[in-house]
Amino acid sequence: MHAELPEDDQPPAPLSAAQATAFWNDFSGQLTALAALDGRAFVEAANALLQRHAPGLSLELEGTPGQDGARLVVTAHGNIEHFEAAQAVVRQAPPLAGYAVQAFRSRAAGSNFAMRLQDFELSCDDVLVAHYDAGGIIGLALSFAQAVPPQLQEQARHMAFILLDHALGEWDFAVRVGPVEFVDAQADTVPLSQFPAVFDAFQREVLGRTYDFPQEEQDRWISLEVRPRDADEDDAPDLLTFHDSAHALATRADLCYLLTLRFPMDSQESLDCARAAQDALDAQLLAQQRGVQAFTRMEGMQSRVAAFYVDDPDVAAALARQLAAEHAPGLDAALALEYDPSWREYLGMYSAIHRHDRRAAEEVA
């Protein structure tokens, strides 16, 4: 129920670097003429250019065209299906004199802003928010400070989502917020106008999201045996080594791509080669702070897979292929990339591994 554009039946095809570059070439070629326009005309003309290359995205302007401090914001209007395209456009942005470029809308300035729709007004103070840990992401329970007439309930809820999107910012609301439900008013709430600070503190102090790379002396890994649900009892378990400390980086906006590098193995020698290639990739990504290893898994004693969250998919894939060729030339490496800004793969494992911890905490509370 985020404030999104209508979704297509099929996810949009990934936007290529060439498509993003073509937009910026068009934009740069007309920038002098665009800068002579007022703000509204600038945005309309810029979006006409953008729609040719990246439907589903929009360009917003913060500041005044051609003046210092102007910022171009590429937004997907909260539709996570188009987030990859938004980041691809920003990644290919050339230096633009007088303009900064960013992906996704920032939080709205001010705390208690409001919106009106069909003679009904709702402000951030009118929306009450309770929050909880929903397995490594934040779940929300929303209610209203004042009674809302039954015929306006649906409209009020839609408006509350829009206010929430603007209060938290496009990335935080779409990526870092999980389940959202409307409930009857309860005691443990804060007005939405005060919630962004609460949200940030919960991310940092409860979820442990520093968004800093783990330091070696504090790095924590968990090893355990796991079985696929459809496995026979006699099948050998998979051996999972989970990078628990990577949780501090989960949902970081520049680590959106899940890269998996899988090698077949049928001997100790092939296992050693696979591990050497995967360890080399881990070391290089970590040294440049361009990626972090999430886990490794021995799959039925037949293959070894290592998973990483990386910033640039093309750079990381090229590096993975290079290191596979250097360290495991005789093995058929399988490389896969997935856009996973919410870290679903990692947080699903994290939630399952730490479920007992949460139950124990709830019992103590």
pLDDT tens readout for residues 256-282: 999 999 999 999 999 999 999 999 999
pLDDT band of residue 11 (cuts 50, 70, 90) is low
Q: Above 50 in pLDDT, residue 131?
A: yes
pLDDT value of residue 2: 34
Q: What phi and psi, each to the nearest 5 degrees, are found at residue 56?
A: 100, -15
DSSP string, 84-123: HHHHHHHHTPPPBTTEEEEES--PPSSSS-EEEETTEEEE
Encode pLDDT of 137-190 as tens digits.
Answer: 999 999 999 999 999 999 999 999 999 999 999 999 999 999 999 999 888 899
Please tell me the least confidently modeled range out of 186-200, 214-228, 306-320.
214-228
Q: Is the pTM of this model over 0.75?
A: yes
Question: In one letter, which amino acid is 63?
Answer: G
In this structure, the dihedral spanned by the alpha carbons of residues 315, 316, 319 and 325, taken in order and rounded to 10 degrees, is: -130
Which DSSP string corresponds to 174-186?
IIIEEEEEE----
Confidence bin at 110 (pLDDT 50/70/90): confident
Numbered ranges of CATH 3.30.70.600 in the chain: 216-359
Number of residues that make up the chain: 365
Task: Dump pLDDT digits (tens) for 13-63.
Answer: 789 999 999 999 999 999 999 999 999 999 999 999 999 999 999 999 998
Mean pLDDT of the chain: 91
Pairing of strands 58-62, 70-75: antiparallel
CA distance linking residue 97 with residue 168, whole number of Å = 29
| Alpha helices (H) along 289-312 | none
According to DSSP H, which parts of the chain are helical?
17-35, 39-53, 83-91, 153-168, 170-171, 195-201, 268-288, 313-327, 344-353, 355-364
Interval 329-346: pLDDT, tens: 989 999 999 999 999 999
Query: What is the β-pairing status of strands 99-103 and 70-75?
Result: parallel
What is the reported pLDDT for 365?
42
Instruction: Identify the pLDDT of residue 235.
Output: 75
pLDDT band at residue 232 using 50, 70 and 90 as cut-offs: confident
For 302, other C-beta atoms within 10 Å of its C-beta total: 11
The least confident of 22-26, 129-133, 300-304, 313-317 is 300-304
Q: How confident is the model at residue 362 (pLDDT cuts 50, 70, 90)?
A: very low
In DSSP terms, which residues pair with 241 in a beta bridge? Answer: 223, 296
Percentage of the chain modeled with pLDDT above 90: 79
Backbone angles phi, psi at 190, to 5 degrees: -130, 155
- Fold of the domain built from segment(s) 216-359: Alpha-Beta Plaits (3.30.70)
